[in-house]
A and B are shown apart, each in its own frame.
Chain A
Amino acid sequence: SQQGEEDPQALSIQEGENATMNCSYKTSINNLQWYRQNSGRGLVHLILIRSNEREKHSGRLRVTLDTSKKSSSLLITASRAADTASYFCATVSLNSGGSNYKLTFGKGTLLTVNP
């Protein structure tokens, strides 16, 4: 089963509005990362938040992490049409044998920002 699962699966908003996407996970993590993917392209790293951090900002992005609830949220403020993309959370955790770290991607949230 997926380690990280995004919610909602799809989100449609108007330009200028804020967009919030959530990610839930099952096991303890080392860090959690958010990536963006434009249609038919590779992924671009947005932000990394470590397990001992609660909030991080990067430009119009704000990421929160609640390890007690095993959840994270990505907030994009003042959205633009160019923000239209799929957004993935990826969790870094120890594999089942406890010998190595593993990066596991969720299925993503498709964000559409209408002009």
Chain B
Amino acid sequence: DGGITQSPKYLFRKEGQNVTLSCEQNLNHDAMYWYRQDPGQGLRLIYYSQIVNDFQKGDIAEGYSVSREKKESFPLTVTSAQKNPTAFYLCASSIFPDTWLTDTQYFGPGTRLTVL
């Protein structure tokens, strides 16, 4: 069953803690993305990666960090520096190299993070 998986589905964090959200894909896509969605809002880009061992900041990267050690995996760490981390986080991927950011993105089911 091909696709993108995210875990956990729900995550609760105490203030001051770092948490890591998992994103795995078996679509053989080169490009991967992390978005944040707040209620009634569109998606905002946090980080993206075009290729293994490389990633770029999106529009709202402050307080977040990522790594891309494997093609299949693009974990997102929400650090204690992120002032308002409660949100729905979506991971996506798309085919690279010629059409990244212009082509269809395939989304995971999302992780809902709540800060207690």
Contact = CB atoms under 8 A, between A and B. Distances in A.
A4 B103 CA distance: 17
B101 A42 contact: no
B54 to A, nearest CB: 14
12 contacts: A42-B90, A42-B109, A43-B90, A45-B105, A45-B106, A48-B103, A101-B101, A102-B101, A103-B101, A103-B102, A104-B42, A107-B41
Contacts of A108: 42
B101 A105 contact: no
B74 interface: no
Contacts of A41: 109-110
A73 to B, nearest CB: 18
B82 interface: no
Main secondary structure of the interface of A (DSSP, over half): strand
B40 interface: yes
A32 to B, nearest CB: 11
A52 to B, nearest CB: 13
B108 interface: yes
A107 B107 contact: no
A31 B44 CA distance: 18
Interface in B91-116: 92, 101-110, 112
Interface in B30-46: 35, 40-45
Interface string A82-115: 0000001000100000001111111110000000
A64 interface: no
A42 B42 contact: no
